[in-house]
Amino acid sequence: MKPIPYGRQSINQDDIDAVIEALQHPYLTQGPRVAEFEEKFAKYIGVDHAVAVANGTAALHLCALALDVDHSTNVITSPITFSASANCIRYCGGNVYFADIDPNTILLDLNQVEALIKSKPDGFFDGIIPVDFAGLPLDMEAFHQLAKKYGLWIIEDACHAPGGSYLDSQKKEQFCGNGKFAELAIFSFHPVKHIASGEGGMITTNDPQLYERLKTLRTHGITKDPDRMIQNHGGWYYELQELGYNYRLTDIQCALGLSQLRKADSGLKRRRAIARRYDQAFSGSSVQIITPESSRRHAYHLYVIQVDNRKELYDVLRENNIFSQVHYIPVHTLPYYQQFESTAKQLPNAEAYYDKCLSLPMYPALTDEEQEFVIETVLKFAK
């Protein structure tokens, strides 16, 4: 059996042709494909505005900047995420606090978040960064109500969940990152994600003021808009109005992103079919799986199981050319965050999850034969 990774991009001739066409166009960056990708992604998610950026981490950083995070800002996030969900606050000098997860969903526990808020003086916290981990949507309506109660903003980290959705209290379908219940949301286009552009990210929002500021921050803090400039010396003139970054996405990457976006629904359908097959295979075994509530439509960036003797299973899979992965090492246990009093504490649910978690191969190009081999290998070990 050839090597089977936990995730990888699915590139076909349409993608290759789209990139070639972009290479033959006069604009390699800052061209028409950027705006087209933003417009079509916003429509796919169901949000008013989208801003394409260099990667998901850049998206998080720009969100923190747009919300004026500084050394006095205190923010809560999940320990079970990639460290960028927390790092974006530290980039701006802010302070990070972690609340524990719900062991049934592996998502940030709303009750734990509120308990953490209540443990500090009124007005201590400024925001929350909840994460749609593995592609399982949070109940963002509930988080929005909590944030409103305490005067907090929300950045939804939806990197794992384009196309994921849940039913709100009115039984209306809400798609991850649609801006209904968060000021800002972010997505990633890393090769193992649903939509691959090599590297890349997207910020979504329904707030027109945040949208305009994000576009400026993405491009050094520079504007060429005559209506916003203090002076205007001519057609060449621009103004640096605040300190921004070069976090742009190229036309080449957007061409690939547009091609991938056209296949997003079919890829999501395949991911859900793979997940159903895993669910059926592991039902009744000692392999612990996460079963979404009927009101939540999982996007399955990852398929995570929990087993005793995780290290032994990881090694057995590698011996059989199956390259699983661990998502994630709890962020609060990493050496950088252990130095801070705010984060150097135990979170038992997150730590218990980490001891057992393993991500199995999950990507649209995974064949039935390959998946069956993965299942057989896991069940043989479990027995």
pLDDT reading at 191 higher than 90: yes
Q: Are residues 26 and 127 in the same domain?
A: yes
CATH number at residue 37: 3.40.640.10
Q: Can you give the residue range of the structural domain that contains 371?
A: 265-382
- pLDDT tens figures, 194-229: 999 999 999 999 999 999 999 999 999 999 989 889
Q: Are residues 45 and 106 in the same domain?
A: yes
- Measured at the CA of 201, the angle between CA 360 and CA 66, to 5 degrees, comes to 130
Could you give the number of structural domains in the chain? 2
Q: Are residues 66 and 160 in the same domain?
A: yes
- pLDDT tens figures, 227-269: 889 999 998 999 999 999 999 999 999 999 999 999 999 999 9
Q: Which of 233, 263, 293 is the last residue of a domain?
A: 263
Amino acid present at 4: I
Q: Are residues 145 and 214 in the same domain?
A: yes
* Residue 175, SS3 per DSSP: strand
Q: Are residues 213 and 88 in the same domain?
A: yes
- pLDDT tens figures, 6-21: 999 999 999 999 999 9
Query: In the structure encoding, which two tokens stand for residue 266, read together?
Result: 């079919």
Q: Which of 223, 248, 263 is the last residue of a domain?
A: 263
pLDDT band for 60, please (50, 70, 90 cuts).
very high
Structure confidence at residue 311 (pLDDT)? 98
pLDDT reading at 351 higher than 90: yes
Q: What is the mean pLDDT of residues 74-94?
A: 98
- Measured at the CA of 99, the angle between CA 97 and CA 100, to 5 degrees, comes to 145
pLDDT band for 345, please (50, 70, 90 cuts).
confident
DSSP string, 247-300: ---BHHHHHHHHHHHHTHHHHHHHHHHHHHHHHHHHTTSS-EE----TTEE---
Q: What is the mean pLDDT of residues 330-352?
A: 94
Considering the entire predicted model, what is its pTM?
Answer: 0.97
CATH number at residue 326: 3.90.1150.10
Q: Are residues 110 and 141 in the same domain?
A: yes
Q: Are residues 190 and 308 in the same domain?
A: no
Query: In the structure encoding, which two tokens stand for residue 142, read together?
Result: 């509930």
Structure confidence at residue 344 (pLDDT)? 79
- CA distance linking residue 149 with residue 160, whole number of Å: 27
Q: By percentage, how much of the chain surpasses pLDDT 90?
A: 96
Stronger pLDDT, 140 or 383, i.e. the higher one: 140
Q: Are residues 294 and 335 in the same domain?
A: yes
Structure confidence at residue 207 (pLDDT)? 98
Q: Are residues 144 and 255 in the same domain?
A: yes
